[in-house]
Amino acid sequence: MTDPGTDPEEVIRQSYRELTGSVPGGIERRLELAAATARLGSVAAVEAMRRALIMDNPLGLKHGQIVHFTQLVGLGKGGPARLHARAAQRARSTLPKLMGAVELALITSGVPAYSLGVEVLSKLLIEERTAPDGELPGAN
């Protein structure tokens, strides 16, 4: 059996756990397909780029995740936006700061982006209110 510390698939999974608290389903599917097609090297290359651009970004993790969240709201991508809103919270962003980002999205991307951002953050607020004390939404 491969040591999880050196298993490339587990290293990739762990990076998502660090960022978001869990491994997104799309990443699991990506890894499964890569294993089935002997293309894990390609996924590893994409993940190395991701690490350089997200985890090692000069903005820092918190601000980078706020930007990422806002861009996804502007693109109308609710599921990924929610994932990155949670990642921003894990990086110590606050709901008011995320709401400020949504308000700025109204200027550049219009009412649909604003509405999507409000929907995403409203769901996170409900999760926060119902989560056990000290637990972040989406943390597994």
Per residue in 80-96, pLDDT tens?
A: 999 999 999 999 999 99
CB 44 within 8 A of CB 12: yes
Q: Label residue 136 by pLDDT band (50, 70, 90).
A: low
Mean pLDDT of the chain: 91
How much is the pLDDT for 1? 43
CA 44, 46, 52 angle in degrees (round to 5)?
100
Q: Report the C-alpha dihedral over residues 91, 122, 98, 80, rounded to 10 degrees.
A: 70
Residue-wise pLDDT tens digits, 108-132 = 999 999 999 999 999 999 998 988 8
pTM, two decimals, is: 0.82
Q: Which residue has the higher pLDDT, 122 or 137?
A: 122
Residue-wise pLDDT tens digits, 44-88 = 999 999 999 998 999 999 999 999 999 999 999 999 999 999 999
CB 101 within 8 A of CB 69: yes
Cβ-in-10-Å burial (0-12, 13-18, 19+) of 64 comes to buried
**Cα(2)–Cα(84) distance, integer angstroms:** 31
